[in-house]
Chains A and B, each alone.
Chain A
Amino acid sequence: MVDHKPDKAERPARGLSVDEGSGGSAMMKLISEVILSNVTRYGCGGVTLRELDDSGSIVVGDLEIVLTTDAHTIKPIFFPGGDIGSLAASGTLNDVSVMGVKPRAISFSMVVEEGFSKDDLSRIVRSFNGVLEEVGVDLITGDTKVLEKGDIDGVVVTTSAIGVTQKGRIVRDSGIRPGDIIIISGSVGDHGISILSVREGFDFQLETKSDVGPIWEVVEAALEAAGTEGVRAMKDPTRGGLSNALNELAEKSGVGMEVREEEIPIRQDIASAAEMLGVDPLSVTNEGKAIIAVDPELSDDVLAALRRTRRGRDAAIIGRAVADHVGEVVMETKVGGKRLLERPIGDPAPRIC
Protein backbone atom coordinates (compact mmCIF):
# COMPACT_ATOMS: atom_id res chain seq x y z
CA MET A 1 0.00 0.00 0.00
CA VAL A 2 1.40 3.38 -0.93
CA ASP A 3 2.24 5.40 2.10
CA HIS A 4 1.19 9.02 1.70
CA LYS A 5 3.42 11.77 3.04
CA PRO A 6 2.07 12.95 6.39
CA ASP A 7 1.09 16.38 5.13
CA LYS A 8 -1.24 14.91 2.51
CA ALA A 9 -4.00 14.82 5.07
CA GLU A 10 -7.21 13.11 4.20
CA ARG A 11 -10.01 15.55 3.91
CA PRO A 12 -12.54 15.71 6.75
CA ALA A 13 -15.92 14.07 6.33
CA ARG A 14 -17.61 16.55 3.97
CA GLY A 15 -14.65 16.66 1.55
CA LEU A 16 -13.83 14.14 -1.10
CA SER A 17 -12.24 10.88 -0.16
CA VAL A 18 -9.86 8.82 -2.24
CA ASP A 19 -12.55 6.15 -2.54
CA GLU A 20 -14.71 8.52 -4.54
CA GLY A 21 -12.18 8.57 -7.36
CA SER A 22 -11.46 4.90 -7.60
CA GLY A 23 -14.18 3.75 -9.96
CA GLY A 24 -16.51 1.91 -7.61
CA SER A 25 -19.92 2.72 -6.19
CA ALA A 26 -18.58 5.63 -4.13
CA MET A 27 -17.50 7.35 -7.32
CA MET A 28 -20.81 6.72 -9.05
CA LYS A 29 -22.55 8.37 -6.15
CA LEU A 30 -20.20 11.35 -6.35
CA ILE A 31 -20.85 11.79 -10.06
CA SER A 32 -24.55 11.70 -9.49
CA GLU A 33 -24.50 14.19 -6.62
CA VAL A 34 -22.00 16.71 -7.86
CA ILE A 35 -21.99 16.50 -11.64
CA LEU A 36 -25.23 15.20 -13.04
CA SER A 37 -27.35 17.23 -10.69
CA ASN A 38 -25.55 20.45 -11.67
CA VAL A 39 -25.33 20.08 -15.43
CA THR A 40 -28.29 21.19 -17.53
CA ARG A 41 -26.72 20.75 -20.96
CA TYR A 42 -25.55 17.17 -21.30
CA GLY A 43 -26.08 16.34 -24.95
CA CYS A 44 -28.96 15.13 -27.05
CA GLY A 45 -29.35 12.88 -30.04
CA GLY A 46 -26.17 10.97 -29.40
CA VAL A 47 -24.78 9.32 -26.29
CA THR A 48 -25.40 11.87 -23.57
CA LEU A 49 -23.57 12.54 -20.32
CA ARG A 50 -26.45 11.05 -18.37
CA GLU A 51 -25.75 7.67 -19.89
CA LEU A 52 -22.31 7.66 -18.29
CA ASP A 53 -21.01 5.47 -21.07
CA ASP A 54 -17.30 5.11 -21.84
CA SER A 55 -17.61 7.99 -24.32
CA GLY A 56 -20.21 10.52 -25.35
CA SER A 57 -21.27 11.42 -28.85
CA ILE A 58 -22.97 14.07 -30.94
CA VAL A 59 -24.74 13.68 -34.24
CA VAL A 60 -23.64 15.88 -37.15
CA GLY A 61 -25.69 15.21 -40.25
CA ASP A 62 -25.20 11.55 -41.18
CA LEU A 63 -22.23 11.18 -38.94
CA GLU A 64 -21.80 10.57 -35.25
CA ILE A 65 -18.71 11.93 -33.51
CA VAL A 66 -17.56 10.12 -30.40
CA LEU A 67 -15.63 12.05 -27.76
CA THR A 68 -14.00 10.89 -24.54
CA THR A 69 -11.65 12.27 -21.92
CA ASP A 70 -9.52 10.88 -19.11
CA ALA A 71 -6.99 12.07 -16.58
CA HIS A 72 -4.08 9.82 -15.71
CA THR A 73 -2.38 10.02 -12.37
CA ILE A 74 -0.71 6.65 -12.03
CA LYS A 75 2.07 6.04 -9.56
CA PRO A 76 4.69 4.82 -10.24
CA ILE A 77 4.98 6.73 -13.52
CA PHE A 78 7.13 4.02 -15.06
CA PHE A 79 5.99 0.48 -14.35
CA PRO A 80 6.56 -2.99 -15.78
CA GLY A 81 4.85 -3.07 -19.15
CA GLY A 82 4.37 0.65 -19.65
CA ASP A 83 4.28 4.16 -18.28
CA ILE A 84 1.90 7.07 -17.90
CA GLY A 85 2.36 7.87 -21.61
CA SER A 86 1.26 4.51 -22.99
CA LEU A 87 -1.43 4.38 -20.31
CA ALA A 88 -2.80 7.80 -21.24
CA ALA A 89 -2.94 6.92 -24.92
CA SER A 90 -4.37 3.43 -24.51
CA GLY A 91 -6.92 4.31 -21.86
CA THR A 92 -8.49 7.09 -23.85
CA LEU A 93 -8.33 5.38 -27.23
CA ASN A 94 -9.91 2.31 -25.67
CA ASP A 95 -12.85 4.34 -24.40
CA VAL A 96 -13.57 5.33 -28.00
CA SER A 97 -12.91 1.81 -29.28
CA VAL A 98 -15.44 0.17 -26.97
CA MET A 99 -18.13 2.36 -28.51
CA GLY A 100 -17.40 0.38 -31.65
CA VAL A 101 -15.70 3.35 -33.29
CA LYS A 102 -12.15 3.64 -34.56
CA PRO A 103 -10.35 6.48 -32.83
CA ARG A 104 -8.97 9.14 -35.20
CA ALA A 105 -7.37 11.91 -33.19
CA ILE A 106 -6.24 12.66 -29.68
CA SER A 107 -5.20 15.62 -27.53
CA PHE A 108 -2.56 15.61 -24.81
CA SER A 109 -2.50 17.98 -21.88
CA MET A 110 0.00 17.71 -19.10
CA VAL A 111 0.42 19.40 -15.76
CA VAL A 112 3.98 18.86 -14.60
CA GLU A 113 5.72 19.52 -11.30
CA GLU A 114 8.65 21.88 -11.34
CA GLY A 115 11.89 19.90 -11.47
CA PHE A 116 10.45 16.95 -13.35
CA SER A 117 13.07 15.40 -15.62
CA LYS A 118 12.94 16.41 -19.28
CA ASP A 119 14.34 13.01 -20.22
CA ASP A 120 11.51 11.32 -18.40
CA LEU A 121 9.02 13.58 -20.10
CA SER A 122 10.46 12.72 -23.53
CA ARG A 123 10.31 9.07 -22.68
CA ILE A 124 6.66 9.43 -21.69
CA VAL A 125 5.78 11.19 -24.93
CA ARG A 126 7.63 8.61 -27.03
CA SER A 127 5.71 5.89 -25.26
CA PHE A 128 2.48 7.76 -25.94
CA ASN A 129 3.43 8.03 -29.59
CA GLY A 130 4.09 4.30 -29.78
CA VAL A 131 0.44 3.62 -29.05
CA LEU A 132 -0.64 6.17 -31.64
CA GLU A 133 1.47 4.40 -34.24
CA GLU A 134 -0.06 1.06 -33.34
CA VAL A 135 -3.61 2.27 -33.87
CA GLY A 136 -3.04 4.92 -36.54
CA VAL A 137 -4.21 7.91 -34.50
CA ASP A 138 -2.88 11.48 -34.67
CA LEU A 139 -2.06 13.85 -31.83
CA ILE A 140 -3.36 17.17 -33.11
CA THR A 141 -3.40 19.46 -30.10
CA GLY A 142 -2.18 19.76 -26.56
CA ASP A 143 -1.42 21.90 -23.55
CA THR A 144 1.36 22.17 -20.99
CA LYS A 145 1.43 23.67 -17.53
CA VAL A 146 4.22 23.60 -14.97
CA LEU A 147 3.31 24.01 -11.31
CA GLU A 148 5.63 24.85 -8.45
CA LYS A 149 7.29 22.04 -6.63
CA GLY A 150 4.85 20.38 -4.25
CA ASP A 151 1.74 21.77 -5.92
CA ILE A 152 1.30 18.58 -7.89
CA ASP A 153 2.85 15.14 -7.57
CA GLY A 154 5.05 14.49 -10.61
CA VAL A 155 2.82 14.71 -13.62
CA VAL A 156 -0.86 14.43 -14.46
CA VAL A 157 -1.79 13.74 -18.07
CA THR A 158 -5.23 14.40 -19.51
CA THR A 159 -6.17 13.11 -22.92
CA SER A 160 -9.26 13.46 -25.08
CA ALA A 161 -9.93 11.44 -28.18
CA ILE A 162 -12.46 11.43 -30.99
CA GLY A 163 -13.74 8.91 -33.46
CA VAL A 164 -16.22 9.26 -36.31
CA THR A 165 -18.81 6.80 -37.54
CA GLN A 166 -22.14 6.62 -39.33
CA LYS A 167 -24.98 8.00 -37.27
CA GLY A 168 -26.41 5.33 -34.99
CA ARG A 169 -23.62 2.83 -35.51
CA ILE A 170 -22.47 3.07 -31.92
CA VAL A 171 -22.20 0.22 -29.50
CA ARG A 172 -23.52 1.37 -26.15
CA ASP A 173 -23.06 -0.33 -22.80
CA SER A 174 -26.78 -0.80 -22.33
CA GLY A 175 -27.80 -3.01 -25.21
CA ILE A 176 -27.49 -6.45 -23.66
CA ARG A 177 -30.46 -8.83 -23.88
CA PRO A 178 -31.11 -12.04 -21.93
CA GLY A 179 -29.29 -14.88 -23.61
CA ASP A 180 -26.41 -12.75 -24.87
CA ILE A 181 -22.96 -14.21 -24.37
CA ILE A 182 -20.34 -12.33 -22.36
CA ILE A 183 -16.75 -12.48 -23.61
CA ILE A 184 -13.57 -11.10 -22.03
CA SER A 185 -10.74 -10.39 -24.45
CA GLY A 186 -7.98 -11.77 -22.22
CA SER A 187 -6.60 -12.27 -18.71
CA VAL A 188 -7.77 -9.96 -15.91
CA GLY A 189 -5.92 -8.38 -13.02
CA ASP A 190 -2.60 -7.99 -14.87
CA HIS A 191 -2.34 -4.22 -14.58
CA GLY A 192 -3.74 -3.67 -11.10
CA ILE A 193 -1.87 -6.51 -9.47
CA SER A 194 1.45 -5.85 -11.17
CA ILE A 195 1.25 -2.18 -10.15
CA LEU A 196 0.39 -3.01 -6.54
CA SER A 197 3.28 -5.41 -6.49
CA VAL A 198 5.91 -2.83 -7.38
CA ARG A 199 4.80 -0.25 -4.89
CA GLU A 200 6.97 0.38 -1.95
CA GLY A 201 6.95 -2.40 0.58
CA PHE A 202 6.19 -5.25 -1.80
CA ASP A 203 9.06 -6.84 -3.63
CA PHE A 204 7.21 -9.51 -5.57
CA GLN A 205 8.99 -10.42 -8.77
CA LEU A 206 6.25 -11.02 -11.27
CA GLU A 207 6.63 -12.33 -14.76
CA THR A 208 3.36 -10.80 -15.90
CA LYS A 209 3.44 -7.09 -16.60
CA SER A 210 0.75 -4.50 -17.00
CA ASP A 211 -1.48 -5.21 -19.98
CA VAL A 212 -1.61 -1.54 -20.92
CA GLY A 213 -2.28 -1.27 -24.64
CA PRO A 214 -4.82 -0.31 -27.31
CA ILE A 215 -7.65 -2.75 -27.98
CA TRP A 216 -9.01 -1.31 -31.23
CA GLU A 217 -7.72 -4.37 -33.10
CA VAL A 218 -9.74 -6.63 -30.80
CA VAL A 219 -12.90 -4.53 -31.14
CA GLU A 220 -12.50 -4.36 -34.90
CA ALA A 221 -12.29 -8.15 -35.06
CA ALA A 222 -15.49 -8.49 -33.04
CA LEU A 223 -17.30 -5.96 -35.23
CA GLU A 224 -16.19 -7.70 -38.40
CA ALA A 225 -17.51 -10.99 -37.09
CA ALA A 226 -20.80 -9.71 -35.71
CA GLY A 227 -21.49 -6.12 -36.80
CA THR A 228 -22.79 -3.36 -34.52
CA GLU A 229 -26.06 -5.29 -34.24
CA GLY A 230 -24.44 -8.52 -33.12
CA VAL A 231 -22.12 -6.81 -30.68
CA ARG A 232 -24.67 -5.73 -28.10
CA ALA A 233 -22.45 -3.88 -25.65
CA MET A 234 -18.83 -3.34 -24.77
CA LYS A 235 -16.89 -1.93 -21.88
CA ASP A 236 -13.25 -1.78 -20.93
CA PRO A 237 -12.88 -3.01 -17.33
CA THR A 238 -10.66 -0.27 -15.93
CA ARG A 239 -11.11 1.04 -12.41
CA GLY A 240 -13.17 -1.30 -10.33
CA GLY A 241 -12.06 -4.17 -12.54
CA LEU A 242 -14.16 -6.87 -14.13
CA SER A 243 -16.60 -6.90 -11.20
CA ASN A 244 -17.46 -3.27 -11.53
CA ALA A 245 -17.75 -3.37 -15.31
CA LEU A 246 -20.00 -6.44 -15.35
CA ASN A 247 -22.27 -4.91 -12.72
CA GLU A 248 -22.48 -1.69 -14.67
CA LEU A 249 -23.32 -3.49 -17.91
CA ALA A 250 -25.97 -5.53 -16.14
CA GLU A 251 -27.56 -2.51 -14.49
CA LYS A 252 -27.57 -0.34 -17.58
CA SER A 253 -28.93 -3.05 -19.79
CA GLY A 254 -31.54 -4.14 -17.27
CA VAL A 255 -30.41 -7.77 -17.24
CA GLY A 256 -28.88 -10.16 -14.77
CA MET A 257 -25.69 -12.01 -15.45
CA GLU A 258 -24.34 -15.44 -14.72
CA VAL A 259 -20.62 -15.94 -14.98
CA ARG A 260 -18.41 -18.92 -14.32
CA GLU A 261 -15.30 -18.31 -12.26
CA GLU A 262 -13.31 -21.08 -13.90
CA GLU A 263 -13.77 -19.50 -17.33
CA ILE A 264 -12.34 -16.14 -16.28
CA PRO A 265 -8.72 -16.08 -17.47
CA ILE A 266 -6.31 -15.10 -14.71
CA ARG A 267 -2.60 -15.71 -15.04
CA GLN A 268 -1.07 -17.91 -12.38
CA ASP A 269 1.47 -15.43 -11.04
CA ILE A 270 -1.16 -12.69 -10.91
CA ALA A 271 -3.48 -15.02 -8.97
CA SER A 272 -0.71 -15.87 -6.50
CA ALA A 273 0.34 -12.25 -6.00
CA ALA A 274 -3.29 -11.24 -5.56
CA GLU A 275 -3.73 -13.94 -2.92
CA MET A 276 -0.68 -12.66 -1.06
CA LEU A 277 -1.81 -9.06 -1.29
CA GLY A 278 -5.29 -10.00 -0.13
CA VAL A 279 -6.69 -8.29 -3.23
CA ASP A 280 -9.30 -9.71 -5.58
CA PRO A 281 -7.99 -9.76 -9.19
CA LEU A 282 -11.55 -9.28 -10.37
CA SER A 283 -11.68 -5.87 -8.70
CA VAL A 284 -8.55 -4.27 -10.01
CA THR A 285 -7.93 -2.19 -13.09
CA ASN A 286 -7.22 -3.64 -16.50
CA GLU A 287 -5.75 -1.38 -19.17
CA GLY A 288 -5.80 -3.50 -22.30
CA LYS A 289 -8.97 -5.56 -22.18
CA ALA A 290 -12.56 -5.39 -23.36
CA ILE A 291 -15.78 -7.03 -22.23
CA ILE A 292 -17.87 -7.79 -25.29
CA ALA A 293 -21.50 -8.92 -25.10
CA VAL A 294 -22.56 -10.76 -28.20
CA ASP A 295 -25.60 -12.22 -29.91
CA PRO A 296 -25.47 -15.93 -28.93
CA GLU A 297 -25.73 -17.03 -32.57
CA LEU A 298 -22.49 -15.23 -33.35
CA SER A 299 -20.51 -15.77 -30.17
CA ASP A 300 -18.35 -18.59 -31.50
CA ASP A 301 -17.41 -16.56 -34.57
CA VAL A 302 -16.57 -13.57 -32.43
CA LEU A 303 -14.47 -15.65 -30.07
CA ALA A 304 -12.53 -17.18 -32.96
CA ALA A 305 -11.97 -13.75 -34.48
CA LEU A 306 -10.70 -12.33 -31.19
CA ARG A 307 -8.30 -15.19 -30.70
CA ARG A 308 -6.70 -14.42 -34.04
CA THR A 309 -5.65 -10.97 -32.78
CA ARG A 310 -2.50 -10.27 -30.77
CA ARG A 311 -4.20 -8.72 -27.75
CA GLY A 312 -7.20 -11.03 -27.86
CA ARG A 313 -5.53 -14.40 -28.11
CA ASP A 314 -6.64 -15.42 -24.61
CA ALA A 315 -10.23 -14.31 -25.13
CA ALA A 316 -12.81 -16.44 -23.36
CA ILE A 317 -16.55 -16.78 -22.93
CA ILE A 318 -17.18 -16.14 -19.25
CA GLY A 319 -20.95 -16.15 -18.98
CA ARG A 320 -24.25 -14.91 -20.28
CA ALA A 321 -26.99 -12.44 -19.60
CA VAL A 322 -30.21 -13.68 -18.05
CA ALA A 323 -33.63 -12.26 -17.34
CA ASP A 324 -33.44 -13.06 -13.61
CA HIS A 325 -31.84 -11.07 -10.77
CA VAL A 326 -31.70 -7.92 -12.87
CA GLY A 327 -28.66 -5.78 -12.15
CA GLU A 328 -26.92 -8.56 -10.26
CA VAL A 329 -24.02 -10.69 -11.35
CA VAL A 330 -24.10 -14.21 -9.95
CA MET A 331 -20.93 -16.18 -10.14
CA GLU A 332 -20.64 -19.92 -10.10
CA THR A 333 -17.44 -20.45 -8.16
CA LYS A 334 -14.59 -22.67 -9.21
CA VAL A 335 -15.92 -25.49 -7.09
CA GLY A 336 -19.54 -25.21 -8.10
CA GLY A 337 -20.90 -22.98 -5.35
CA LYS A 338 -22.66 -19.69 -5.96
CA ARG A 339 -22.08 -16.17 -4.82
CA LEU A 340 -22.62 -12.63 -5.97
CA LEU A 341 -19.90 -10.79 -7.81
CA GLU A 342 -20.27 -7.39 -6.18
CA ARG A 343 -18.98 -4.00 -7.20
CA PRO A 344 -15.89 -3.15 -5.21
CA ILE A 345 -16.28 -0.17 -2.87
CA GLY A 346 -12.99 1.60 -3.13
CA ASP A 347 -9.31 0.93 -3.54
CA PRO A 348 -8.08 -2.44 -2.39
CA ALA A 349 -5.58 -2.48 0.46
CA PRO A 350 -3.49 -5.41 1.64
CA ARG A 351 -4.98 -7.72 4.24
CA ILE A 352 -3.06 -8.47 7.33
CA CYS A 353 -4.16 -12.02 7.62
Chain B
Amino acid sequence: MCLAIPGRVEELQGRFGVVNFGGVRRKVDFSLLQRCKVGDYVIVHAGFAIEIMDEADAEETLSLIRQIEAALE
Protein backbone atom coordinates (compact mmCIF):
# COMPACT_ATOMS: atom_id res chain seq x y z
CA MET B 1 0.00 0.00 0.00
CA CYS B 2 2.20 2.69 -1.20
CA LEU B 3 0.68 5.62 -2.97
CA ALA B 4 2.63 8.47 -1.49
CA ILE B 5 3.74 11.58 -3.26
CA PRO B 6 6.82 13.72 -2.68
CA GLY B 7 6.36 17.43 -2.05
CA ARG B 8 8.10 20.44 -0.57
CA VAL B 9 7.20 21.71 2.89
CA GLU B 10 6.07 25.32 2.57
CA GLU B 11 4.52 25.98 5.94
CA LEU B 12 4.79 24.26 9.29
CA GLN B 13 2.79 25.13 12.40
CA GLY B 14 3.02 22.54 15.13
CA ARG B 15 1.31 19.37 14.03
CA PHE B 16 0.09 20.60 10.65
CA GLY B 17 1.66 22.24 7.66
CA VAL B 18 1.30 22.87 3.94
CA VAL B 19 3.14 20.83 1.33
CA ASN B 20 3.49 21.85 -2.30
CA PHE B 21 3.27 18.95 -4.75
CA GLY B 22 4.40 20.33 -8.07
CA GLY B 23 1.97 23.24 -7.91
CA VAL B 24 -0.76 21.64 -5.80
CA ARG B 25 -0.76 22.80 -2.19
CA ARG B 26 -2.29 20.65 0.49
CA LYS B 27 -2.61 20.59 4.25
CA VAL B 28 -0.58 17.73 5.76
CA ASP B 29 -0.32 16.13 9.20
CA PHE B 30 3.28 15.98 10.46
CA SER B 31 2.70 14.01 13.65
CA LEU B 32 4.66 11.03 12.32
CA LEU B 33 7.87 12.99 11.80
CA GLN B 34 10.18 13.99 14.59
CA ARG B 35 12.02 16.77 12.89
CA CYS B 36 11.05 18.52 9.76
CA LYS B 37 11.54 22.04 8.52
CA VAL B 38 10.28 24.34 5.81
CA GLY B 39 12.13 23.58 2.61
CA ASP B 40 12.42 19.85 3.28
CA TYR B 41 11.02 17.38 0.79
CA VAL B 42 8.66 14.87 2.36
CA ILE B 43 6.75 11.81 1.25
CA VAL B 44 3.04 12.15 2.01
CA HIS B 45 0.65 9.23 2.32
CA ALA B 46 -3.09 9.60 2.96
CA GLY B 47 -2.60 13.13 4.27
CA PHE B 48 0.36 12.34 6.55
CA ALA B 49 4.06 13.06 5.99
CA ILE B 50 5.79 9.73 6.56
CA GLU B 51 9.43 10.53 5.88
CA ILE B 52 11.82 13.25 4.80
CA MET B 53 13.57 12.75 1.50
CA ASP B 54 17.35 12.96 1.58
CA GLU B 55 18.82 14.86 -1.32
CA ALA B 56 22.31 13.36 -1.05
CA ASP B 57 20.86 9.86 -1.15
CA ALA B 58 18.76 10.79 -4.16
CA GLU B 59 21.87 11.96 -6.01
CA GLU B 60 23.69 8.79 -5.02
CA THR B 61 20.89 6.65 -6.47
CA LEU B 62 20.84 8.68 -9.67
CA SER B 63 24.57 8.13 -10.10
CA LEU B 64 24.28 4.35 -9.65
CA ILE B 65 23.78 3.59 -13.28
CA ARG B 66 26.94 5.40 -14.25
CA GLN B 67 28.85 3.42 -11.61
CA ILE B 68 27.46 0.12 -12.83
CA GLU B 69 28.20 0.93 -16.47
CA ALA B 70 31.78 1.75 -15.50
CA ALA B 71 32.11 -1.52 -13.57
CA LEU B 72 30.89 -3.48 -16.57
CA GLU B 73 33.50 -2.11 -18.91
Contacts and interface: CB of A to CB of B under 8 A. Distances in A.
Interface of A: 197, 203-208, 267-269, 271-273, 275-276, 278, 351-353
Given A203-B27, A272-B5, A278-B3, A353 B22 contact: no
Contacts of A203: 26-27
Given A205-B25, A272-B21, A272-B24, A353 B5 contact: no
Given A353-B45, A353-B46, A271 B22 contact: yes
Residue of A207, A278, A353 contacting most chain B CB atoms (<10 Å): A353
A204 B1 contact: no
Contacts of A352: 1, 3, 46
A272 B22 contact: yes
B22 A268 contact: yes
22 contacts: A203-B26, A204-B26, A205-B24, A205-B26, A206-B23, A207-B23, A208-B23, A268-B23, A271-B22, A272-B5, A272-B21, A272-B22, A272-B23, A272-B24, A273-B21, A275-B21, A276-B5, A276-B21, A278-B3, A352-B1, A352-B46, A353-B45
Contacts of A275: 5, 21
A259 B33 CA distance: 42
Nearest to A275: B5
B68 interface: no
Contacts of B2: 353
A353 B25 contact: no
Given A269-B22, A275-B21, 19 more contacts: A197-B24, A204-B24, A204-B26, A205-B24, A206-B24, A268-B23, A271-B22, A272-B22, A272-B24, A273-B21, A273-B23, A276-B5, A276-B21, A276-B24, A351-B3, A352-B1, A352-B3, A352-B46, A353-B45
Contacts of B21: 272-273, 275-276
A131 to B, nearest CB: 28
A351 to B, nearest CB: 6
B21 to A, nearest CB: 5
B46 A276 contact: no
Nearest to B44: A276
Contacts of B27: 203
